[in-house]
Structure 1
Amino acid sequence: MRILHTGDWHIGRKMNGLDLIDDQRYILDQLQEAIEDNQIDTVVVAGDIFDRVNPSQSALKLANDTLYKINIELGKNLIVISGNHDSRERINYGSEWFKATDFYINTDLSKVAEPVTIDDVDFYLVPHVEVLEARVYFNDDTIQTHQDAYENIVKEINKHMNKEQTNVLVGHLYLNGSIESDSERPLSMGLSEAVSADVFSDFDYTLLGHLHHPFAVDHGTAFYSGSLLKYSFSETNQPKGYRIIDTKKKEVTFAPIKPLHEVKVYSGDYEDLIKQKVTFDDDQAYFKFELSNMSYVNEPMSKIKLLYPNTLELKPLIEDVASDLEAVDISTTSDIEIYESFIEHTFDRTMTDFDKDMFDQHFAGEDNETE
């Protein structure tokens, strides 16, 4: 069997206030082409189809259109679990009659031990699980962490596992030792999220969602697909794509996918950027600029957007000013000299009469006299 492993679509996501629905439509169209081109039998979506429990109408339509095309138009087996961003009720709606078209959904902890059998592969669908939920379900107050919860879940699955089959667990969790990104919402507050990969050692493959880096963990049988798009500037250097698992050849490969817009971070000098002494392969990328020497520029963002219209974030670099000011020896320098140095380094000009008046009014005490 050839399985395409994807997840963390986060349809409806915004980045610095920008709606990414067009970027998501573009990337999901590419994913559908990849399913056809790679002769995929089964598509696994490991949670977080949506970015919020109440997605917009445009997000709902894109998700429904994509899932319909994969399952009905392309005729592929489709396996979906709910992630921590998804509404279980929304994801699970229609799940019983969807089985007639080989579209299998699980959002329910009580069904994790019921395998979805497709040819010689048994899929165990484990949605995002809260620790309290597992504690109540197993009636076990000793369950205090996600590790405890998943140990109990796998113990339950093992009671029913057919070792003659290829066994695949699909989950949405944080594997111990993994690389995180800024755009992932914590699974719990005040509890240990990490789960050891050893918990899933009885499975031939463990296909995971939640972490956005496809190489978040280095393991022989446990894999993240990663997100299809970069959803924060912390993900700038992360590859994005999907995995293909060939159970007959026992091969797992990662296939990169090209977005509509790249995500880039640039640190440097404002004048170098405006005078185009630095250039980029894609002027339409989503940019975050960290720039020095902007203190005298009125509306620098609007000027930058004339060159790079998809600039989403602008941050001033002030390290050079800070380092200069730290060099002042306050034990041998008067208050007025420190103030004058601040004016020069911050505004690149000498102190005016107005600056002097402000100092006299707000900083100079009875013992400070200025000439």
Structure 2
Amino acid sequence: MKTAERFTDKRVKRELFPLTTFVLFFVMFAVFTTVQMMMIGQVIDYQSLPLGNTVAVFCFWVAAAVGSTVATALTVRHYYQKPLEEVSEAARKVAAGDFSVYLAPRHPMDKTTHLDVLCMDFNKMVEELGSIETLKTDFFSNVSHEIKTPLAVIQNNAELLQQAHLTDAQRQECTAVILQATRRLSNLITNMLKLNKLEKQVIQPLPQPFDVCAQLCDCALQFESVWESKPLDFAADLEDRCTITADAGLLELVWTNLLSNAVKFTPAGGQVRLTQRSDGRTLTVTVADPGCGMDEATQARMFDKFYQGDTSHATEGNGLGLALVRRILELSDGTVTVTSAPGQGSTFTVRLPLTAAGEETPA
């Protein structure tokens, strides 16, 4: 039934072998026969030929033309038309949302043809589309969950505030919880917008020379109240000055997110270490914490959107920080790596060129 449907596709307006193909073969055989006879010195006088011989020659040309047309049609149908129909049917299935479609190559790998390459590229396209669809589904699921949680907190505490018997302390507590939930929701939306703009390259880095050591100090001081209240020990080992040509606003997001994670996962009494070095061409910044660490499975997914390996700190973030870090560094020609093990803390290492692409490194 499916084969019949392919051959009767109403979108096909012209067959590969119409009547003109038969006429072409017929004329070719007539011309070739005449030329061949002329080349051997025998000019055929068709007017003086007996009617039977003329009919025989004509029938020969017809039979040869029909045979050549049929043989060519069968060959092309088997090796080209049928595979193209299979690709067309598979494309319709993919367009309908079926990403399990697979086209098997028709020849071994050492004898691949253009059709085999087409099938392999089609399978790769379907695989990528399936991955995008999965990511989209996961994205909406995660976004819904991340938004629903603070909204539920806001709703519950707003309902409590409507009760008349609450004390002033209880009302202040509900108000504080609502403010915390709204800040979390605002932070989530802000990070989503930033990440979306970075991925679509709406935000382009604007490299300008600046002192990255001063920027690292400013970012660290933002967490002073946090490490004093927890309490934590903060150790910084920075050069006196290091000039880098990059987008200062985007790099500030990198340092802030890495330091925020380090402070969040470091237990009370632990030490967060910030180190910066440069060798004339490359800037290296490391942020280390003695927290819970990560296993290999968590490290493999830590840069995924909304992924949070340690759910005990889920209310303190939304799983977009490291995704932002990686995307910013990709746009800045930098890299980020992590060294971690369960129970042994984590060390994030960022490497960036001191000069933007196309600029000369200062002597």
Q: Place the TM-score, normalised by the shorter chain, in its bin.
A: under 0.3
Give the structure-2-normalised TM-score.
Answer: 0.19
User: Which structure has the larger Rg over C-alpha atoms?
Assistant: 2
Q: Which has the higher contact order (CA 8 A, sep 6+)?
A: 1
More strand by share: 1
